[in-house]
Structures are given as structure tokens and as C-alpha cells.
Amino acid sequence: MLFYAGNIGGGIVSHEMTHAAIAWSQRVAHLRPQRIFHHEAEDASDENERFCHAQGWMVAQFWKKFYRRVTGDPTGRVRTRLKRLSRR
């Protein structure tokens, strides 16, 4: 993913991370997009929540790494949370 430094914000990052979360949900967590985005099945809400949590953690991971580069602060542990979400 490449971002233009002159035009970066929460909406753009969230939009791009949603694309990444869709790819993650299909390749890693084996979720089906039709069950994530359409609540026709009774148990679809679990898949929807897993997707939303993963997307939120991807956005958080981006901003932690972004601010770490900008400020030099070495904190942040997001990757392990995504691994746990994919195993449910």
C-alpha cells in the first residue's frame, strides 16, 4: 500500500485498510464476503464482527507504525491480535 504524504487521513487509511481486511478475511480467516456484508444467515453476525475487529486492528496497526516513524516511539503490538482473530 502506498499513501501520498500530502493527502493522508483517517478516511483514506480506513478505506484502504478495508480492502486489506477483505483480502485477509478471504485468504486467512476463510470468511465469505456475502456473509460478512449481508446478514441473511443467522450466524453471519459472528463473521461480520470478526471482519470489523480485523479491519479496526489493521487501521490501528497502520497508525501505530505511522506515528512510530514520525515520533520515533517504538511501542505497539497489533499483529498478534490479528493472528488470534483468524483462528476463531
**Residue 19: all three cell numbers together:** 480492502
Whole-number pLDDT of residue 71: 74
Whole-number pLDDT of residue 88: 60
First and final C-alpha spacing in the chain: 27
Whole-number pLDDT of residue 18: 93
pLDDT digit string (tens) for the chain, length 88 residues: 888 878 889 999 999 999 999 999 989 888 877 777 776 666 667 888 889 999 999 999 998 888 888 777 666 554 555 566 666 6
Ranges of each domain in the chain:
10-86
**CA 73 from centre of chain:** 22
Q: Residues 21, 57: contact at Cβ < 8 Å? A: no
pTM of the model: 0.73
